[in-house]
Amino acid sequence: MRLSRGIQGLRGVRRFGTITKVLFKHGFGDVAERIFNGREKRDPKEPERHLFLGAGYPSARRMRLVLEELGPSFVKLGQLMSTRADVFPPEYIEEFKKLQDSVPPIPFSEAKGVIERELKRPLLEIFAEFDEESLAAASVGQVHIAKLHSGEKVAVKIIRPGIDRQIKQDLRLMYYLAEKAERALEIARLVGAENLVREFERNITRELDMMIEAGSIEKFGKNFEKVAEIHIPQVHWEYTTRSVLVMEHIEGIKMDQVDQIRAAGIDPKEVAVIGLRSFSRQLMEYGFFHADPHPGNTIVMYDGRVGLVDFGITGYLDEETMHQIANLFLGYAEHNYDMVMDALMEAGLINEDMDLTSFRSDLKDASETFYGRSLRNISVKDVYDQVMGLVLKYHIRLPRNLLLLLKTFIQTEALGKILGSDASLLEVTKPFAKELLKRGYATRSLLKNLDRESRAAGGYLRNFPKHIHDILRQTAAGRQRIELRLSGIEETRSQIEKGANRLTVGLVVSASIIAAAMILNSGQRIFEFSTTLFGLRTISLTAVLGLIGYGVASLLGIWLIISILRSGRL
């Protein structure tokens, strides 16, 4: 039996065996047999989605346990799945959210080896001090605190050695399993197993490259350089590579340590408002947002500023989407559901094929109960669950960045609740939405697109002669064939033919009349014979031909006149 590309090699076979064993251990034996052997044991009359969620199949909890036991790559995949409430039922989303990167840190000797190998210098030549105990450890990397020879305190983030090879191996297996699952299980086709793996590959590839995260930090720094209440760490590019990131260490208090924030003389409610304003700016001004603002990534500095760290997960919004979100927020803030529906329609989330009347009614029922309430009295998670209920009911597929945005909303709300905020998310966001619409992003986008298309057209014109030369050269060499197909000329051709025929008939009529006149006026007589017809005694053949010519010409002339009169084009 030929091995699939996903399980080639000894390590691949071993890993494949481990996955199969874990599936059987946690009650996925029937699923594994159907995936690998193509067995079909279920009653075909029973809906598979019901089976998958019912007691007869492994529970959502078992799925979480499988992912945890399979290791970091599958834990990361589960974390991605926890954001896909548009395809997974609520009970699975809740279980996937419990997946945490609970892995022990790598030994200091290995961390030191990564740094020295990447920077090609001894550790103590780069840092005056280096804390051997990690500050935080996750499945992909870990963070240490160090001090440069300049005296500046820095955070050093490193990628675990060998994790990229492990993830690449697991990705091959994930694609193999997803392909098999989509062939064997209807539920796998419903959730789009291969698309999930493809999305996971895109995310994890970005996480494995510290240069990408450093670029995100730099971009955030430029966006917020004139915003005094937000602080973004500086990147030390001279010490940053694909596997090592060195940046400014922000001293402060984690946002969930409310008592310590108060003890430092800082109002937690004001901190919450700063966080909401920051999030609003990211959405409505920059179109680039921090998509993982949990307490560990949000630091309250001792001077009252809020610092953001860990930019491994970020989201982008193009100008058109920003404009749509602004209309959406403003529509909600002003109870204008026509504006909300227009924004959803413009974003392509709903269309004319849906039952828009029912959708509008359901949307209004789901939203009205949340108006005018502060973060302390409202749950964005409840709003999220209501929205996802509509998404599942009307089969709406949300783009990745909008799902990231919804997840970020929930995390932002959680921080606001921890800090006891009375602020209303809609009220804080409303002025930023109005400012965005006032700036006329649609016009700017149109002008930008016009400029881009103009440059593209210039490029086409410059290359046009070369392309024509290449086509003619290949045609002459027999490697190309040019076919000209003209459409819409059949009617024109018919009209031309009619005109030509009428002209021909007219010429024949004219020629017949002239010929008949010449024959009748001729003094020559050919083949005369006697007849009593019409009282004539003698008649010549030339006279007969002349009369026939007159007759034919008269008939054709009458037909031509009638034809022209009928066409209405005299």
Contacts of 149 (CB under 8 A, 6+ apart): 127, 128
Closest by CA to 164, choosing from 207, 104, 107, is 207
d(CA 364, CA 340): 10
Q: What are phi and psi of 400, to 5 degrees?
A: -55, -45
Instruction: Report the run of H or E that residue 314 belongs to, with start and end.
Output: strand 314-316
Nearest Cα to 215, choosing from 189, 242, 196, 188? 242
Among residues 121, 123, 244, 227, the alpha carbon closest in space to that of 235 is found at: 244
Let me know if 529 is exposed, middle or buried by CB neighbors in 10 A (0-12, 13-18, 19+): exposed
Phi-psi region of 265 (alpha: psi -120 to 50; beta: other; left: phi over 0): left
CB 41 within 8 A of CB 30: yes
DSSP labels, 96-143: HTT-----PPPPHHHHHHHHHHHHSS-HHHHEEEE-SS-SEE-SSEEE
Per-position b or e across 210-230, b if 16+ CB within 10 A of its CB: bebbbebbbebbebbeeeebb
Cβ contacts of residue 564 below 8 Å, gap of 6+?
A: 502, 570
Residue 321 sits at the vertex; the CA angle it makes with 229 and 220, to the nearest 5 degrees, is 30
Is 292 in the active site? yes
Cα 286 off chain centre by: 19
Backbone angles phi, psi at 127, to 5 degrees: -115, 140
| Polymer length in residues for the chain | 570
| Catalytic residue, candidates 86, 170, 292, 310 | 292
Half-sphere exposure of 414 (CA within 13 A, CB side): 16
CA-angle at 90, arms to 87 and 96, nearest 5°? 85
* Block residue for tokens 């995949």: 77
Helices marked H in 146-298: 163-184, 186-191, 193-207, 210-223, 258-263, 268-281
Positive/negative CA dihedral, 53, 54, 55, 57: negative
DSSP-based helix, strand, coil % in the chain, nearest 5? 60, 10, 30
Q: Residues 22, 25, 27, 33: is their CA dihedral positive or negative?
A: positive
**Amino acid in the structure at residue 245:** L
Q: What is the DSSP letter of 526?
A: -
Residues with catalytic annotation?
A: 292
